[in-house]
Amino acid sequence: MSLYDSVLITGGNGMLAFAVKEALAARGIPFASVGRAECDLADVDAVARTFDRVKPTLVLNCAAYTNVDGCETDPTGATAGNTTAPGNLAKACRAGGAALVHYSTDYVFDGKGEPAADGSGPWPWRINDPVAPLGAYGRSKLAGEQLLQEHAPARWVIARTQWLYGPSGKHFVDTMLNAARAGKPLKVVADQIGSPTYTPHLAAATLDVLDRGGQGIWHLSNSGRTSWFGFTEAIMAAFDVTPASLVPATSAEWKQIRPQAAHRPAWSVFDLTPYEALIGKPMPRWQDGLTAYAGRR
C-alpha cells in the first residue's frame, strides 16, 4: 500500500491547504479535502465519520486557529483548534493505520534563543531546543504537538513553520501591499527576526520529507532571515510599490499602539540542517519565495 493511496487534507479551505493541493495535483496524486463545515476536528464523532468515508492512508492537517491575538481572548477556541483537533486526528490515524502530518509553529519557543559563541546573534532554533511559548496561541500549539505524540500513529510528522504567505489567503504580504496602495503610512516592527515562508515551498518540502521517510519533528521554513520591517521593504520593491511612508517600530512601541496584542517571539529563525541533510539540498531563500509570489500576481 502506498502512502499516497488515499490522501485527506484537513483545513481544506485555507492558504496552506491550497498550496498542498497544488503540490499533490502537480504529482497527479488525488486527494479528499474537508473544511470545518464538513468536519469539525474537535468533534471526535465527526472525525470518525470522515475517516470512515475517506479511509485515508495519509492525513495532512492544515487546519489551525491562527489568529494569534484572538487566541488570547478565546483560549477555548484556541484549544479546540490547535490542541484537541490534532489529538483527535492522531487517535484516528493510529486506529486506521494512516500517517499524519501536522503543522506547528515557531511560537512554541520564547524567541530569546541561545547566544552564539562568536557573538553573531542567537543560534537558529533546533528541533530539541527547550520550548517556552509566550502566549495562548503558542501554548495551544505546543499542547497539540504533545497530544499528537501521546496518541501517535505509527508514522507521524510535525512540521514547525513560520511567517506564512502565499496564493489564496489573507496574510502579511497582501495586507502591506493593500495598505500602501491605499496611501496609508506604514509602521512596521523591526526587532522581530524570522524567515518569511512561501506556502508552495513549504508544501514541496513536506512532500520531500515524506518521500524520504522523514519521521518526528521537523523545522521547515524558507532559509535566511529578516525583520518584519525588512520584509516589508522587500515586498514594496518586489511589487514596485512606493508607500506614503515606511518607518520601523520596536515591539514595545507596537504594544503601546495595540496593548491587547499578544506577545510575539523576537527570534524565530530555524536550524534547517536536518532537512537539508535528509533531502540533499537547501530550502529556497525567503527572497526567492517573494519573487515567486510576485510572479503569480
The catalytic site residues sit at 137
Nearest alpha-carbon partner for 185 in 232, 251, 137: 232
Nearest alpha-carbon partner for 286 in 104, 162, 158, 112: 162
Instruction: Give the cell for residue 61.
Output: 492537517
Cell 521537523, located at residue: 218
User: CA–CA separation, 174 vs 186, rounded Å?
Assistant: 13
Nearest alpha-carbon partner for 163 in 202, 134, 137: 202
Taking CA atoms, 58 is separated from 3, 76, 94, 156, in Å, by 6, 28, 11, 9
